[in-house]
Amino acid sequence: MGTVVGALIILLQFTSSAIMGISGALDTLTADQSMQHGKSIVSAGGTFELGFFSLQNPPKHYLGVWYKKINPITVVWVANRVSPLTDSSGTLKITRQGSLILLDGNESEIWSSNSSMASRNPVAQLLDSGNLVVRDLGNTGSDNFLWQSFDYPTDSFLAGMKLGRNRITGFDRYLTSWKSVDDPSPGNFSFQIDPNGFPQILLMQRSTIKSRLEPWIGVRYGGMPNLNPNLNYKYEFVLTEQEMYCHYEFLNMSVVSRLYLNPDGVVQRFTWVDQTQSWVLFLAGPSDDCDLYAYCGAYAICNINKSPLCEYLNGFSPKVPQERSTLNRLGCVRTNTLDCRGDIFRKYSGLKLPDSQRSWFYRSMDLQDCEMVCKRNCSCMAYANIDSEGGGNGCLLWFGDLIDMRACNEGGQDLYVRMFALDPGIILLSTRKFAGR
């Protein structure tokens, strides 16, 4: 995984000796200015730089944002990733109406921000967050941005950026990988919030789910210890009637770190270490077979510490009986038909919660009421607390098969699964970590 980044950095060692700031404020571009290939603007604190870079042979030229003080450069946003310039004649301008436009040597438009909001005195500014914004001169409030690059991310998730959806307009913000290390056009992978059921984050390979982060459980993503709060940054998930999104903020402002979706479909967090002048990999996923979506099928739990990896609940059997010894990832079926009103719920601990696409949730409901609601609905297969670390309220109900569960080495959640009351010994074959009670 590190080799991908290394290759990318090497390929991005473009000719930068000619780069210089625009006249006037170094972090802004006004309607009476333009930025040609070989020039740049730099954020006020010197953290990020906007300019042109070249890739491939013969070279293709792109407008992008990268870390100013890190060499070789690391690009975090590309404007014209779909429409590269074929030579070094590119020019960036901002129109009187407030749209950024990228022109080639023939004055043909290569890319535009297509801002839908007009401005009397527009200015483009590169912020120290890495966000390229268009605003009215003198109006610096983030609520009044006419356009911002953070709404159109490429492969990097930066602090302050929202990853998610506007529930009113349907507008989505999500990561899309580069096609390859030397081609920033959209690749095969995306990292996005799934709005169906209770929101969760999916890693997609085109239209197929490759991996999944389980739902937010109050202060972190359950079952993902690498995404737990730490001393450097904190994650937050926001769910309102208007929008759903996750974001993170730095607690230690001296830290330089980014979340990156590489061309191979691996989500990586890198932190810059000044002492070694290098990016250090902090986390990566999918990291093992159990991180792959629905690796064990329905009603089975993937345990990376076991062989075979897939285990099923007592009360369930493999779909293919002769495969009981190996559980060939086809999942399980119940050995007894549910009775509905007479069913019971068994608690399983230390789990990554199942796929929540087919779920209902209640923001203010305690666990006892959650059980009652699930028991009354014969289609409800399981329930859990979705705010287990934030006061105990919050109810999540699953309908249909329970898919994509795994045993967690640390963290993990309690899941209450609907069972036929007379099934004997309803426990997992392995009872060490997540036995039913």
| Backbone angles phi and psi of 175, in degrees to 5 | -85, 145
Rounded to whole angstroms, how far apart are CA atoms 282 and 328?
33
C-alpha angle 229-230-234 in degrees, rounded to nearest 5: 50
pLDDT of residue 128: 96
Assigned CATH topology for domain 2-289? Agglutinin, subunit A (2.90.10)
Residue position matching structure tokens 């309690």: 414
Rounded to whole angstroms, how far apart are CA atoms 17 and 53?
12
Rounded to whole angstroms, how far apart are CA atoms 177 and 327?
34
Rounded to whole angstroms, how far apart are CA atoms 73 and 48?
10
Q: In what order do the strands lie in the sheet with 267-273?
A: 156-157, 257-261, 267-273, 278-285
Q: Give Cα 288 to chain centroid, integer Å.
A: 18
Q: What is the pLDDT of residues 37-83, one digit of tens each?
A: 999 999 999 999 999 999 988 999 999 999 999 998 999 999 999 99
**Number of alpha carbons in the 13 Å side-chain half-sphere of residue 134:** 26
Contact 370, 390 (CB under 8 A): no
Residue of higher predicted confidence among 145 and 140: 145
Task: Give the CA distances from residue 69 to residues 41, 100, 272, 300, in Å, rounded to whole numbers and listed in that order.
Answer: 13, 25, 11, 48
pLDDT of residue 9: 43
Rounded to whole angstroms, how far apart are CA atoms 183 and 27?
27
Secondary structure string (H, E, C) spanning 192-260: EEECCCCCEEEEEECCEEEEEECCECCCCECCCHHHCCCCCEEEEEEECCCEEEEEEEECCCCCCEEEE
**Residue 238, both tokens:** 């926001």
| Backbone angles phi and psi of 108, in degrees to 5 | -85, 140
Least Cα distance to 384 among 350, 428, 408 occurs for 350
Element (H, E) at 3: helix 2-11
pLDDT bin (cut points 50, 70, 90) of residue 392 is low
Residue of higher predicted confidence among 116 and 127: 127
CB atoms within 10 A of CB 277: 9
Distance in Å from the first CA to the final CA of the chain: 41
CB atoms within 10 A of CB 274: 10
Least Cα distance to 29 among 134, 107, 92, 123 occurs for 123
Residue type, 389: E
Rounded to whole angstroms, how far apart are CA atoms 229 and 242?
26
Q: What is the pLDDT of residues 12-29, one digit of tens each?
A: 444 343 334 454 458 999
Q: What is the pLDDT of residues 305-332, one digit of tens each?
A: 998 899 988 789 888 776 555 556 788 9
pLDDT of residue 221: 58
Average pLDDT, the chain: 86
Rounded to whole angstroms, how far apart are CA atoms 325 and 11?
49
Instruction: Collapse the DSSP code of 393 into the 3-class scheme (helix H, G, I; strand E, B; otherwise coil) and give the result.
Output: coil
Domain ranges of the chain: 2-289, 297-419
Element (H, E) at 277: none
State the pairing for strand pair 39-42/20-21.
Answer: parallel
pLDDT at 376 over 60: yes
For the residues 265-279, what does the mean pLDDT come to?
A: 96
pLDDT at 228 over 80: no
**Residue 349, both tokens:** 């601990």
